[in-house]
Structure 1
């Protein structure tokens, strides 16, 4: 972070883009948000925003936390592209190439949830905790893991929202809303899945509605699986669905039931309220994570 310039960030969601410039939580100089329409229009509006901001102060680098799936392999010919997304018109969109050509600055690129995980690890609820997992439960379900100080990548990027969870069809006959897998976790527990199952927007479902106990059960299946596989020191649950009444306590309780005392950690046994938590940065996790991605890209580019 030795540059004297500002850093740009894009929280590139399937519903909206949020662009900002700054250096961290206490220094966001400008922000713009607009709907995610076509790649040409949406990326064009992003470019216009950053060009305007650059007239005031130079931008050292740009970070993009992007909805996906996306190609994160720098050696791949489609690095920086969106891949098999259900978002109409975005399959194959060259996000990094378009921004790089227009703005000419180093670009840090990752998934939207990895970006949020980076933001929370840097400034929020994941500070000093490694491994650490961030999940968003909203229009989709996605997860990002910080392992050895960096977002976990591999064959592709982790697709925590598309894992299979037990689906009792007698209790929940809903077929699932995922266009690829039907009743994967996202297909059963995302905001659109709740709306389709119950016929009303998730945010209108009242406390005590059977939707929330069912939702908590599905999410707890993933919590237990993550504890057993990645062994994170904390799991953050963000996204609009998590504002459901009483959802956090039910997820915590059901996670303990599923682990059945096997994991001998006080964090799970007695400290579950501090183990499964909301984001420390609130709705800012993604855009601040994008700023952090930009800062890392600036350091990498200067060697």
Structure 2
């Protein structure tokens, strides 16, 4: 029901103006190996009806070149791209003598365009998470979502283009002294905490793929003493269907609601003083500390519904520093100012998934343009070589005839 509805929406948009490219960011686990027979499939899922579903073919066949990744790698890539753009803006402002507003408008004007694909039309994005499906076209500013396969919101603007829809984030960072630091970042981790816990990792500017894709939300970290040991009477039982007490099982919205004795929908009314938030911060911080040790990111971005609570990020920073125990000797860990720059909230908020999908689309469009240019150059070289051979042959034949 869901995928056909999304495909119908895409076809309708493409009929108005063909997409230069499409981006699909989906919940997983998903097969990201292009050589695999199940590339583009959600391979297994506790969500009814989603096991072994070919998401990529259902949405992209016959539409346009497609960028495909998880719904956490895609936002990670979007955060990385936006951070790099912010760094460029800071440098531009410094060069112009600190005129923040003018520089921001200048960069936005030069970057913003209806032709986000770079060659023949805008880009489209589809973001599938565990609860909703978001669809957007950067060319006409349309955004809509589906909730359990039903139309949830019709047309709502997401911004004129991917290039300028987040311009305000760039101008906010001007004068913050982060231009040089952001410009040097090559590795980044994106952590989302909501109905589940997901991690996207960017290494040397590219999303990490390999055996599968990062699933760090399912690692285990040290349990709080108050949670007891698994199986002990009175111990806290995690909510993950696969692992019980992994980070997702101990810090997701469902886990926090279990601690509070309420429904997930009531979490907004739980006060900041409730110990459930400290418990969640402990487990999220344990995940961040593990990422520091394993992936060595230069920036950790926190997103998702749970992390919209403003006090939580401060708690996570403090818990992570404590858990690292002074082993990592870096200002980003040891100083308050460094921690504020190292662990940050997502600039895209609840739009992280769809902005990530549009970022995938933009990258796919650029790759398609580059491939066409390489093909054109190859054909030109082939033509030139053929012409040279023909001329040489004619000269040799002429010499033989004169003899």
TM bucket by the smaller chain?
Answer: 0.7 to 0.9
Report the number of matched residues. Answer: 262
In structure 2, the partner of 1:118 is 77
In structure 2, the partner of 1:178 is 240
**Separation (CA, whole Å) in 2 of partners of 1:212 and 1:233:** 26
Query: What are the ranges of 5 or more consecutive residues in structure 1 without an aligned counterpart?
Result: 1-40
Query: What are the ranges of 5 or more consecutive residues in structure 2 without an aligned counterpart?
Result: 87-181, 229-234, 372-403
Do residues 298 (structure 1) and 361 (structure 2) align? no
In structure 2, the partner of 1:224 is 289
1:212 alignment partner, one of 258, 267, 277: 277
**Separation (CA, whole Å) in 1 of partners of 2:224 and 2:350:** 33
In structure 2, the partner of 1:167 is 223
In structure 2, the partner of 1:288 is 355
Q: TM-score, normalised by structure 1?
A: 0.82
Report the Cα offset of residue 194 of structure 1: 1.4
**Separation (CA, whole Å) in 2 of partners of 1:63 and 1:196:** 35
**Separation (CA, whole Å) in 2 of partners of 1:214 and 1:77:** 42
Mapped contact 1:131–1:147 kept (Cα < 8 A): yes
Do residues 199 (structure 1) and 261 (structure 2) align? yes
Alignment of 1:133-144 (within 5 A): 133-144=189-200
**Separation (CA, whole Å) in 2 of partners of 1:245 and 1:285:** 17
Runs of 4+ in 1 over 6 A off after TM superposition: none
Moved more, 67-76 or 167-176: 167-176
1:272 alignment partner, one of 339, 364, 381: 339
* Greater share of residues in strand: 1
Mapped contact 1:203–1:241 kept (Cα < 8 A): no
2:64 alignment partner, one of 83, 102, 105: 105
Mapped contact 1:207–1:245 kept (Cα < 8 A): no
In structure 1, the partner of 2:143 is none
Deviation sequence 1:164-194 (CA, Å, 0-9, x none): 1112464352211111111111011111111
In structure 2, the partner of 1:21 is none
Report the Cα offset of residue 158 of structure 1: 0.8
SS in 2 for 1:55: helix
Mapped contact 2:220–2:247 kept (Cα < 8 A): yes
Mapped contact 1:206–1:245 kept (Cα < 8 A): no
**Separation (CA, whole Å) in 1 of partners of 2:276 and 2:349:** 24
**Separation (CA, whole Å) in 1 of partners of 2:74 and 2:226:** 38
Q: TM-score, normalised by structure 2?
A: 0.62
Moved more, 119-128 or 61-70: 119-128
How big is the alpha-carbon RMSD for the aligned residues of Structure 1 and Structure 2?
Answer: 1.7
Report the Cα offset of residue 244 of structure 1: 2.9
**Separation (CA, whole Å) in 1 of partners of 2:260 and 2:190:** 27
In structure 2, the partner of 1:145 is 201
In structure 2, the partner of 1:72 is 32
